[in-house]
Structure 1
Amino acid sequence: MLDAYTNPPRGLVEAATFPLIEAIHGRRSRRFAKGASIPAGPLAYTSKEAPEALDPVEQMLLISTIAGNTGWAELFAHHPEYKGKLPNYTTAAGGRSFPSSAGFNTSEFFFTDDTGVYFLPTRDMTPTPSKETDLHAWVEAHQSRIVKLADGRLNIPAAMPHMEGHNTWSANAPGSTLVMPVADVAQHVILLLLYLVQNGTGIYDDVNGRMIPGIERYAHRLNMDVAYPMTFLEQVALTDVSVELGTACYAGALMLQALGLGGWMYTGINPFTVLGASGDPAVPGLGFRFDMLDGNPLPHFTGLPGVFEAHVPPHHADMRAAVEAAVARKFGAGGPFDAKLGGPYKENAAVRSAAAQIDAEAIEITTLMADYVLNTFGRFPANVPAVFLNTYLQAHRLDTGFYDTHYGPGAYLRTHAEHDKNWG
């Protein structure tokens, strides 16, 4: 791949200089890939071209755009109640190509193509020391992190209930790359609980209409008159990660325009099939562990052992261990408050070490609330998934013949028209 950067294809040069405003205004869901077929209806068309995989360089540029580390994150600068200490909300030292609420960064990325199923972990990635303009070093740093999980394309049957009917002809098509962002909502809820405790409050059980037993012991630091309803806090967590996953895919959708690739971001694939609860041994999905809980018809996923494990048992011994692991992400080696880490500041060690510590009592309170939820509801979180997948980004080589047949001028961009010439 090195030669692609020393003697770059025209498509790479085009992508690197493509105007942002043209990407925004030119973004469309272009679903018709090479090799596709719509057998009937007013837009009937069968491709005259064979499916064709993405160029390896453009695939890595796309995936790095969706999931990529983009340098050092900037820490929260001030909170009037923190008495000169920095707020300790942030959980990752690196920024990524999309926003994350309070810098929690609880999502990671899986993808599949004709060659296999892959995992690209970037949430705790230390930024590459190369200059920001060194595209080669940036892409190669991400490529080196990819873990292959299985050979061959992930089997997602093109039929209900695995896939919405309107996507059965186009989703996860041969030649395409399908990106699947997954969030650890359990960790996100823990981080929000830590946030509340650091700011002097907590949650109460609005489902059963009661305070959490034992929380009264901490009246010296918690004002429970302004406590959050448990269900609201969990809704906040789910909303936060939904934005995180959606904006990551949107970054990829903009890059599709610059690369001249077809594709779109969408939700029309069954996440339970993808994660691993299809019930069919021939359709194992990603293989995530899950439980079927009394009173809940939906699988409760907790993680893919050794790859992506949510902050909840059995991947952690108990909720205290899960809380401590979340704190360790912040203050441990490579975390945003590791004084030995580099960063964007002139005095990085002084700034990173100035964060307010999360004291033992704060961990006790957070554990108390988390234990209560798990023991009362038999799951954590109580009302939202511990692991969440909803939005996908697909990229494929566009069959412009379909658009020339059925659309007027302007159905695709110049980058699409010139894609094969630019990328070979």
Structure 2
Amino acid sequence: MSAPEKTRHAGLEDLLARPLWETVFRRRTHRVSRGASVPAGSMSYTSPHQSMPLGELEEAVLIALTGCSGLSMPDRPFEDPRDHKPIMAKPNLNMVGRTAGSPDNAQGTHFFLINDSGTYYLRKLPPSRQAAFDPDALIERARQSKVRVLDHRLDVAEGMRDFPAYLDSNRFLSNLAGTTLFLPVVDLSHQYINALMYLLTQPDGARPTLVDDRNFYRPAGVRKWVKNGFLNPDLKLPLGALGPMRTQIEADLLLQNMMLAADAMGLGAWIHASLSPQIALGDPKFSRTYGRMLGFDFVTPRFRPADILRWQVPLPKYADLRAHPVGLRAGGEHLIKCACPPNHPSMEDAVDSVVRGKFGKGGIYEDQDVFTRIYKNGYAQRYLTEAGEYDQQVIDCARDICVYIHATHGRFPAHTDAIHVPGVWLQTHHLESEYYERFFRDGLTDAHRRHASRWHE
């Protein structure tokens, strides 16, 4: 890839010219940031430097990797080749593309950026019409995306870095002054509903009967759908087997992309165990000790005697064992809003909101302009007309399953959290170069050695 004409920044030009193959095979984790010291016996090292935060453009490049990268392509069949019957061909929750894929383009991953100036939620921006690699454009979009949620670095109080806050040696090098961290959290709820509907678009005889493995494998609100023949009673699928619907995979892929880019820029990059997710989000089980932290909204289901067997919750006072995050608000605005109560008055409304977001007024499959920008020669309208949508039976059956889950277990989803936290974050930083030169063969790449001259002169 060659640098666009508008790019007049030596660091960006270096990044765009670096071969992907070299970046992948030379990638190594670099844990030691500028200004950090390493107590390691005879290999102990004390830095003579002050910490050095990333520059605005350096952070902006990495922020760009979390966001929109254009429009995706609905390149899927519309009919079953065996009998030419139409099949559902509009599974996506988004049509804008991202730098990593996600199931049904759900894009449930949200990022927080943590640096010396505070902790920020990174808002997803619409596609940009500006040059993707123009320094000024990158910086401006990064500024637009950042929503400050804390005026300090997300961390526990001094002296509290032991487990469960931090894991083992990570506490000595993770989240130090001068470092920038990217923490992903994944809203599973919208794709959980969407994926249920997609699952139920299978042909006759291949639609499974959902059963509840946390309720003695009873039908999960689908008795009438088994009785009327819509679901196959001999093909049983436990709700627990669905897990997070693979929606969490996007976060891992995005982190890998960001790590490769940071390494190619000549920065240190380290994916590792984050601050404990329950502590970081403000789980009520930990907030008395560590504070509200990010301050997510949590739902704690009302204790029911059946929870003793279903969830091994022995007494009402332990009900918060099943608390889970359902959203985040800042300045009166919902930054993350899961598709479940209390964000919606009922699960019926939550399911209907997902359907409206796809096929209702203003939904993604009602926006012909978007598809005109994807297709050429008039094929946009053909796709919108010919590609199948969810049958009403599919929507109604999925709604019954979701209503059952919330009514039975007091939360949605029940077998996984509405917001999944992978439990890892990416730390990027300027390297303590002398440390790597002193102790390691091939400890630095050319990109690391020339980073200062390309990015800071």
Query: Partner amino acid for 1:96?
Result: R
2:168 pairs, out of 161, 165, 168, with 165
SS in 1 for 2:220: coil
Give the equivalent residue in structure 2 for 1:328. 356
Q: Is the 8 A contact 2:281 2:293 kept in 1?
A: yes
Structure-2 residue corresponding to 1:395:
428
The correspondence for 2:104, drawn from 96, 102, 105, is 102
The 2-side partners of 1:46 and 1:298 are apart by: 45
The answer as to 2:266 corresponding to 1:242 is no
User: Which 10-residue stretch deviates more, 282-291 or 353-362?
Assistant: 353-362
Secondary structure at 2:145 match in 1:
coil
Alignment partner of 1:413 is 2:445:
yes
Partners of 2:6 and 2:134 within 8 A in 1: no
Say if 2:260 is the partner of 1:230: no
Answer with 195-204 or 243-252: which moved more. Answer: 195-204
**180, 183, 206: which is aligned to 2:213?**
206
Question: TM-score if structure 2 supplies the norm length?
Answer: 0.83
Distance 1:133 1:113, change over 3 A: closer
Structure 1 window deviating more from structure 2 (34-43 vs 301-310): it is 34-43
Query: Contact 1:312–1:318 (CA<8 Å) still a contact in 2?
Result: yes
2:17 corresponds to: 17
- SS at 2:436 equivalent: helix
**Contact 2:338 2:418 (8 Å CA) reproduced:** yes
SS at structure 1 position matched to 2:182: strand
Question: What is the correspondence of 1:10-409 to structure 2 with a 5 Å cutoff?
Answer: 10-65=10-65, 67-81=66-80, 83-84=85-86, 87-122=89-124, 125-130=125-130, 137=137, 140-141=140-141, 143-157=143-157, 158-200=161-203, 201-202=207-208, 203-207=210-214, 208-217=216-225, 219-234=228-243, 237=245, 240-277=246-283, 278-280=286-288, 283-293=291-301, 294=303, 295=313, 297=321, 299-305=323-329, 306-332=334-360, 333=362, 335-336=364-365, 338-341=367-370, 342-346=372-376, 347=378, 348-390=380-422, 391-408=424-441
Q: Which moved more, 1:247-256 or 1:321-330?
A: 321-330
Q: CA deviation at 1:214?
A: 4.7
Unaligned runs of 5+ in 2: 304-312, 314-319
Assess, with a 3 A threshold, how the Cα gap between structure 1 residues 329 and 137 changes in structure 2: closer, same or farther: farther
- Whether the aligned pair in 1 keeps the contact of 2:7 and 2:133 (CA below 8 Å) is no
Deviation at 1:251, TM superposition (A): 0.3
1:13 shift after superposition: 1.3
Instruction: Verify the 8 A CA contact 1:34 1:51 in the aligned structure 2.
Output: yes
Q: How big is the shift at 1:401?
A: 1.1
Percent identity, please.
27
Alpha-carbon displacement from aligned partner over 1:394-424 (angstroms, at most 9, x marks no partner): 111111111122212x112111111122211
Q: Pick closer, same or farther for the CA change 1:383–1:133 going to 2, 3 Å.
A: same
CA distance in 1, matches of 2:256, 2:148: 25
Q: CA RMSD in A?
A: 2.5
Q: After superposition, what is the alpha-carbon deviation per residue over 1:195-221, rounded to whole angstroms, capped at 9, x for unaligned?
A: 122225252223312223454246353
* Aligned counterparts of 2:321 and 2:263: Cα–Cα separation in 1: 40
Name the SS for the 2:343 alignment partner: coil
Tell me how far 1:40 sits from its aligned partner: 4.0
Judging changes above 3 Å, is the alpha-carbon distance between structure 1 residues 274 and 353 closer, same or farther for their aligned structure 2 residues? farther
- Give the SS at the match of 1:279: helix
Task: Give me the whole-angstrom Cα distance separating, in 1, the residues matched to 2:126 and 2:38.
Answer: 45
1:327 maps to amino acid? V
Cα deviation digits, residues 359-412 of structure 1 (max 9, x gap): 44432211110111112222222221211112211111111111122212x112
Contact 2:217 2:238 in 1 (8 A): no
Amino acid at match of 2:299: D
2:30–2:269 Cα contact (<8 Å) kept: yes
In structure 1, stretches of 5+ residues that fail to align are none
SS, match of residue 204 in structure 1? strand
SS in 2 for 1:273: helix
CA distance in 2, matches of 1:162, 1:375: 34
Q: Secondary structure at the match of 1:264?
A: strand
Distance across 2 between alignment mates of 1:133 and 1:419: 18
Matched residues in 2 for 1:364 and 1:147: separation?
38
- Partner amino acid, structure 2, of 1:400: S
Q: What corresponds to 2:316 in structure 1?
A: none
> Which shifted more, 40-49 or 11-20?
40-49
**Deviation of 1:227 (Å):** 4.3
Letter paired with 1:402: Y
Specify whether residues 324 and 377 from structure 1 end up closer, same or farther in structure 2 by C-alpha distance, changes over 3 A only: same
Cα deviation, 1:48-86, whole Å, max 9, x if unaligned, reads 111111011111101212x12111111142143484566
Q: Structure 2: which amino acid aligns with 1:324?
A: D
1:187 to partner: Cα distance: 2.1
Structure 1 pair 289–406 and aligned structure 2 pair: CA distance change class (3 A)? same
> In the alignment, is the contact (CA less than 8 A) between 1:339 and 1:353 conserved in 2?
no
Shift of residue 142, structure 1, vs aligned partner:
5.0
Length-normalised TM-score, structure 1: 0.89
- Indicate conservation of the 8 Å contact 2:69/2:98, yes or no: yes
- How far is the alpha carbon of 1:172 from its aligned partner? 1.2
1:124-177 Cα distance to aligned partner (Å, 9 max, x none): x54223466667546644542332222221124533221112111111111111
Q: Secondary structure at the match of 2:173?
A: coil
Tell me the number of residue pairs that the alignment of Structure 1 and Structure 2 aligns: 413
1:377 corresponds to which letter in structure 2? H
